[in-house]
Homo-oligomer: A and B are copies of this chain.
Amino acid sequence: ASSGPSTEPPDPASIFADLSPAELRAVRAFLMARPELGLSPSRGGPLAKNSLFLAELLPPEKRSALRFLERGGARPRREARVVLFFGAQAEPNVTELAVGPLPRPRSYRALPLAGGRAVPFWARPMTRREYELLHEALAAALAPLEPLLREATGGFGFQNCSGRCLTFSDVAPRGLGPGERRSWLVIQRFVEGFFLHPAGLEVLLEHRDPDPRRWAVRRLWYNGRYFGSVRELAESHARGALPLARLPEPPARRLFSSYEPRGRFPGGGRAEAHGAKVCEPRGRRYRLRGNRLEYGGWSLAFRLRSSAGLQLFDVRFGGQRLAYELSVQEAIAFYGGHSPAAMQTKYMDAGWAMGASSYELASGVDCPETAAFLDAHHLLDADGPVRFPRALCVFELPTGVPLRRHFDSDFQGGFHFYAGLEGRALVLRTTSTVYNYDYIWDFLLYPNGVLETKVHATGYIHATFYTPEGRRYGSRVHSHLLGNVHTHLVHYKVDLDVAGSGNSFETMDIRFENISNPWSAGARVVQPRLHREPRRREREAALPLDRPVPRYLLFSNPRRRNRWGHRRTLRLQLSSHAGPVLPRGCREERGVTWARYHLAVTRRHENEPSSSSIYSQNNPWDPPVTFESFIRDNETIEDQDLVAWVTVGFLHVPHAEDIPNTATPGNAVGFFLRPFNFFNEDPSVASRAPVIVRPLDPPACSRLQIRRWAPASPGPCVPPEPFSYNGTYRPV
């Protein structure tokens, strides 16, 4: 596709754009045609095959990207990162390749994983094919339990079950140590919201061997008791020795796990009507061009990578870069419980294709009706690119609170002036529905140069069968249902570039000083003073989860100052209730060493692009990427290109109100990136949206001057009266 002279050159942001369907097809076609790779289609066939699992953009090296963006250098070579499953090799493994150049790939090279070790085949993520085989193997193995299951569940089963089927949820990790691939499966009735309908049976299925004929049930748990085999459980039931947990018939309407309305608010007369909405009387004020988003002073490039989701690049405000990269790295949920599936569950969602689970957003529900929606394309566990319509949305949100305001009273019933600036933010959103849970990923851009990152948790809780011992690990949330305690943690990479790439990091809080009072002899003054701690090495800059965080986390350029002589600085401000998921160094904790720290600051290295990987889930004991190794060398971090790695999260003890779904109020965590002496004043003074009201005849205030720099009336979607104001407060 040679471009004629009249074609506009592509936006520079496009170097960070996800691969187009045509590019994904080209990558796949190129690889499928390489005889030495011996690739088969992903669909069907045996597990012991070679196949393409994932293709996505391999972002350019930062050096060449900056050379292109800043100094008009050559466009960086565009490449794909692909993940190949080599199941048909003598030594089955997973290999990552870089493929390029796009759009017409000619060659590939190995992408070294950390330590240069190959990823063992048993550590690969699950595929649709493996689930198909798992389902078949499970249904076959449980055939002897069909009488038990039908009796206990009101006729639900695996065999010939149309309308009354059982299904399962699998948990991970899939074993107790390296090399294992045996999963606990929770058997559920397949009704709307089946996550909340465990039947009381959990099954440990061994599926390590690529040949499913060698798979087998190794153990079972039913209603609080363990069994060594299907036969043992079936016989116990046949003997009448098994206490059966009989589930009530699920009602045809208003099932507790569904969204169907039920009950009434007392006096909620108007609850049926539509409520408040977002509208845009003058249209959109942001610009979307390909993968570049512009709003007020903001500009950024974005992509939705299939592996780990949203990734921003080249984030600028007022033309100045604040961050080179801001991206989601991982989301985990570690559980506790009494049943084996519950105690085994330590979800690491990058391994569940978190980024590719970007299903359609509903206009008016998931994003306001005014939002712009964007599709995404993923090639993951599929034989071609798949379009995910409306995977992202962008909208301007009226925050409901002024950005800033002041009323200047004259303390005589009048005022000197009133001034205010409406509060708005641009929201860039996607969701990841990782099986039961729905994460809502937001980046918010405020007109004053503040960026907020937020993740909300909603969707179904991961719940298990209720037994009385389960109450130590959560709440009983329905007759046969336990909501298990768990910790959600999310990891972000923030490659801040504060007025350039040479940055330093310090923390700041207050200390009290006790000095002699300079205006009253003999008296003392006790008062707060700023206490700054420069953090000069990576170890000093890793702030552990179990200790309080200093309240100011400051990244500055030691060689650039604002007009008032302060180092130009960005502040990171956490909104989080994160706590440890496991004791340090203990078992699966080694797969999530990033989760040891609220914040860790490292010197940036091109070969430390991510803190986690899609392989941690199935090999947390010895994963290819270990964040701890980024800081083990304890490099100096003064005046260096730094990366801030941020962990946020919360403890979730499910409760009855999590039924049918966890709700978002109170279940959001994230962080702010705030200018802190980065500018010379609040950059939102450039906004034309403020209102200033001044009395022309103080102190009477009977005639007012209303100053606006925007039209008096915003337009037809609000009452058409122009802005009005009075400001006095008078005796009556």
Contacts and interface: CB of A to CB of B under 8 A. Distances in A.
A664 B520 contact: no
Given A274-B711, A360-B727, A387-B729, A660 B686 contact: no
Contact of A401 (B362, B583, B664): B664
Interface string A683-700: 111111111110000000
A340 B726 CA distance: 38
Contact of A405 (B276, B400, B458, B530): B458
Interface stretch (A69-77, A91-99, A672-680): A672-680
A684 B663 contact: yes
A485 interface: yes
Given A297-B265, A386-B730, A406 B528 contact: no
Contacts of A523: 176
A276 B278 contact: yes
Interface residues of A, number: 220
Contacts of A668: 401
Contacts of A399: 664
Given A666-B450, A681-B657, A261 B688 contact: yes
A294 B579 CA distance: 38
Interface in A402-452: 402-409, 411-413, 415-425, 427, 431, 433, 438, 440, 442, 446, 448-450, 452
A251 interface: no
Contacts of A460: 406
Contacts of A459: 404-406
Interface string A639-651: 0000000000011
Nearest to A517: B176
A506 to B, nearest CB: 12
B729 A386 contact: yes
Interface string A456-474: 1011100000000000111
Given A527-B335, A657-B675, A681 B256 contact: yes
The listed residue with most B CB atoms (<10 A of its CB), out of A404, A423, A717, is A404
A478 B564 contact: yes
A655 B684 contact: no
Given A279-B717, A476-B564, A681 B660 contact: yes
Contact of A519 (B258, B340, B398, B517): B340
Interface stretch (A33-41, A377-385, A613-621): A377-385
A46 interface: no
Contacts of A386: 413, 729-732
B666 A683 contact: no
Given A337-B527, A655-B677, A402 B276 contact: no
A314 to B, nearest CB: 14
A364 to B, nearest CB: 6
B285 A280 contact: no
Contacts of A686: 261-265, 268, 271
A319 interface: yes
Given A176-B517, A274-B714, A528-B336, A685 B729 contact: no
B336 A529 contact: yes
Given A382-B731, A680-B656, A370 B261 contact: no
Contacts of A397: 276, 400
Interface stretch (A237-245, A507-515, A600-608): A507-515
B551 A548 contact: no
Contacts of A529: 336, 472-473, 485
A530 B485 contact: yes
Given A527-B336, A651-B510, A718 B404 contact: no
Contacts of A327: none
Interface stretch (A3-11, A47-55, A305-313, A388-396): A388-396
B363 A723 contact: yes
Contacts of A659: 681-682
Contact of A653 (B508, B691, B714): B508
A665 B406 contact: no
A525 B343 contact: yes
A340 B518 contact: yes
B398 A277 contact: yes
Contacts of A582: 512, 526-527
Given A226-B518, A717-B279, A717-B717, A407 B438 contact: yes
A21 interface: yes
25 contacts: A219-B519, A259-B685, A260-B692, A261-B687, A263-B686, A270-B283, A273-B282, A274-B715, A275-B396, A276-B368, A277-B714, A363-B724, A364-B718, A401-B442, A403-B665, A404-B458, A405-B440, A406-B459, A423-B664, A476-B564, A575-B575, A656-B681, A657-B676, A657-B677, A717-B718
Given A275-B422, A337-B527, A389-B729, 14 more contacts: A192-B408, A259-B685, A279-B279, A343-B527, A359-B415, A370-B719, A386-B730, A387-B729, A401-B440, A486-B528, A526-B586, A526-B587, A655-B677, A657-B677
